[in-house]
């Protein structure tokens, strides 16, 4: 059953979901689905959901409520709208979604979206399928490749999944359950995808995985490749001028990866390295399997290899048993490192995870207070980091036209949006920009003259700590 139909995908949660949403659209394109930005226009709505915190899961049910009304209205006008729930809520509570939300036509887990065409046929017959197995086949072998035009229309920077799942089992986290065991894609398949991206005009690739630096994929030479080795190979691809990887675990930062930050000019001097807490007692209860000092040592070694390095992190406040002293340990770790931004969350008990059964849960009001303090400190560090960029010249990869006439916007090596007055012909290129000012979120600058000599790819920033 094909024919022109409209697809609307809404993505929640992490970069893995953002990537998966694009691949679902690619999978459905040959079925006659074209994408729309307007849910009201859609014949098929896919909610690609996140289960990481309670609020994230609740959002799904309120969104389904809104969609149900839209679906009913369309039905009274004689148009059938299909609602699919994908992603980590689908994986964690697929059967419950079907019970609670009769408007949902199908549920598909993150490892099964290559089966969407078949599931849609079943849904059309009124079957309401729930597909949350971890299938034996590799979904990537069945996914359809997007055209060059489609890749480029999505921007100059792309995500590429190289690893999925997690074996770490932090006691607060649902990911090992929703995404399953750690699996690395083979090098040859990753290279083929990277070459396709480069050929379509992509300049920056961010390789992604729930635990990306645990990557250990089969190489074409019969050896197991590390992330470092993969990055070195990706850096050789003509046209790929910027590389990033996310999200990393402190335990899996090895010497070879640190060396890449020294040796590969393509590897951006910015790393998202979640630490969660600065208290050894809490890190132990979280089963993070690293200490505060381990983390600080990794940061130091990376800064020695690459002085321009900037760090961002994730923090959880109010983990069960967290005392004021534990929280102060987190605050002092933040002071010691000096972050260029971070994500921080109140601990949210997740069904089925060990921490949700711990009996020393922290009061909501305490969590709120600690989160506020922590975010104020991070905001101050972020502001200092941005101010420190003023007067420096940073390489900017231009991505799109800006909101004001004559303006274009790109990203600094540190992922800061940079706005300049310059012709749109610069979009898709990297140029040095002198940073003149900072806004609350972006930087403002002027395109600097290209030196005849090789320009600095990124200006070293003063160490942010202390």
Q: Tell which one of 247, 330, 342, 386 touches ligand SAH (CB under 6 A).
A: 247
Residues in 198-217 at the binding interface with ligand SF4, rule: CB under 6 A: 210-211
Cβ closest to ligand SF4, residue 166 vs residue 308: 166
17 is an interface residue for ligand F3S by CB under 6 A: yes
Cβ closest to ligand SAH, residue 52 vs residue 299: 52
- 14 annotated ligand-binding residue: yes
Report the alpha-carbon distance of residue 240 to residue 393 in Å, rounded. 21
87 pairs with which residues across the strands? 49
Q: Is-cis flag, bond preceding 183, omega within 30?
A: no
Residues 201 and 239: beta-carbon distance below 8 Å: yes
175 is an interface residue for ligand F3S by CB under 6 A: yes
Cβ closest to ligand SAH, residue 211 vs residue 393: 211
386: enclosing H helix or E strand: helix 364-389
- 389 annotated ligand-binding residue: no
At 75, list the tokens: 């039905």
CA 265 to each of CA 61, 178, 242, 291, 305: distance values in angstroms, whole numbers, following the listed order? 45, 36, 8, 30, 12
Cβ closest to ligand SAH, residue 348 vs residue 393: 348
Q: Which of these, 154, 179, 156, lies nearest to 168 by C-alpha position?
A: 179
Stretch that binds ligand SAH, among 180-188, 216-224, 292-300, 347-355 (CB under 6 A): 347-355
Could you identify the residue written with the tokens 């406040």?
317
Q: Tell which one of 166, 205, 228, 389 touches ligand SF4 (CB under 6 A).
A: 166
- Shortest distance (Å) from residue 290 CB to ligand SAH: 12
For residue 295, the partner it binds in ligand SAH, ligand F3S, ligand SF4, none, with Cβ less than 5 to 8 A by kind, is none
**What 3-state class would DSSP assign to 290?**
coil
- 50 annotated ligand-binding residue: yes
- 166 annotated ligand-binding residue: yes
Residues 27 and 49: beta-carbon distance below 8 Å: no
Could you identify the residue written with the tokens 């059938």?
80
Burial class (CB in 10 A: 0-12, 13-18, 19+), 11: buried
- 170 annotated ligand-binding residue: yes
277 is an interface residue for ligand SF4 by CB under 6 A: no
Cβ closest to ligand SF4, residue 8 vs residue 345: 345
At 334, list the tokens: 């933040």
Report the alpha-carbon distance of residue 253 to residue 273 in Å, rounded. 10
168 is an interface residue for ligand SF4 by CB under 6 A: yes
- Shortest distance (Å) from residue 364 CB to ligand SF4: 22
Residues in 253-312 at the binding interface with ligand SAH, rule: CB under 6 A: 274, 276
Residues 240 and 195: beta-carbon distance below 8 Å: no
175 is an interface residue for ligand SF4 by CB under 6 A: yes
Q: Output DSSP code: residue 81.
A: -
64 is an interface residue for ligand SF4 by CB under 6 A: no
Residues that bind ligand F3S (CB under 6 A): 13-14, 16-17, 50-52, 87-88, 174-175, 178-179, 210
Residues that bind ligand SAH (CB under 6 A): 52-53, 172-173, 175, 210-211, 247, 249, 274, 276, 314, 316, 345, 347-348, 350
């Amino acid at each position: 059953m094909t024919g022109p139909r409209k697809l609307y995908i809404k993505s929640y949660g992490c970069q893995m979901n953002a990537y998966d949403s694009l691949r679902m659209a690619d999978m459905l394109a040959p079925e006659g689905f074209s994408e729309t930005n307007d849910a009201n226009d859609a014949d098929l709505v896919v909610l690609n959901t996140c289960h990481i915190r309670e609020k994230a899961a609740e959002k799904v049910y309120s969104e389904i409520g809104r969609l149900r009304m839209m679906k009913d209205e369309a039905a009274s006008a004689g148009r059938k709208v299909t609602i699919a729930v994908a992603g980590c809520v689908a994986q964690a509570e697929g059967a419950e979604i079907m019970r609670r939300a009769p408007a949902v036509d199908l549920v598909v887990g993150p490892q099964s979206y290559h089966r969407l065409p078949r599931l849609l046929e079943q849904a059309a017959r009124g079957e309401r399928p729930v597909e949350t197995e971890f299938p034996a086949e590799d979904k990537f072998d069945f996914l359809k490749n997007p055209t060059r035009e489609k890749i480029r229309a999505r921007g100059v920077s792309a995500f590429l999944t190289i690893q999925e799942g997690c074996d770490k089992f932090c006691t607060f986290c649902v990911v090992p359950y929703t995404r399953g065991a750690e699996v690395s894609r083979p090098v040859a398949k990753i290279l083929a995808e990277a070459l396709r991206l480069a050929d379509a005009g992509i300049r920056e690739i961010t390789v992604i995985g729930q635990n990306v630096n645990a990557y250990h994929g089969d190489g074409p030479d019969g050896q197991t490749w590390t992330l470092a080795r993969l990055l070195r190979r990706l850096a050789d691809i003509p046209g790929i001028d910027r590389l990033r990887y996310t999200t990393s675990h402190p335990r899996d930062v090895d010497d070879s990866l640190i060396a890449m930050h020294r040796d590969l000019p393509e590897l951006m001097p910015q790393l998202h390295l979640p630490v969660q807490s600065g208290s050894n007692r809490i890190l132990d209860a979280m089963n993070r399997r690293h200490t505060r000092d381990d983390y600080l040592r990794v940061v130091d070694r990376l800064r020695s290899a690459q002085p321009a390095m900037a760090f961002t992190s994730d923090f959880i406040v109010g983990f069960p048993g967290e005392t004021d002293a534990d929280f102060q340990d987190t605050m002092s770790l933040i002071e010691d490192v000096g972050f260029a931004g971070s994500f921080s969350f109140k601990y949210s008990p997740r069904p089925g995870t060990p921490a949700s059964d711990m009996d020393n849960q922290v009061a909501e009001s305490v969590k709120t207070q600690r989160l506020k303090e922590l975010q104020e400190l991070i905001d101050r560090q972020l502001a200092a980091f941005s101010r420190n960029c003023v007067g420096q010249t940073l390489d900017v990869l231009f991505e799109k036209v800006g909101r004001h006439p004559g303006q274009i916007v790109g990203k600094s090596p540190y992922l800061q949006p940079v706005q300049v007055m310059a012709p749109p012909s610069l979009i898709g290129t990297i140029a040095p920009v002198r940073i003149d000012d900072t806004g609350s979120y972006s930087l403002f600058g002027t395109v600097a003259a290209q030196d005849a000599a090789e320009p600095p790819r990124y200006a070293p920033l003063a160490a942010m700590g202390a």
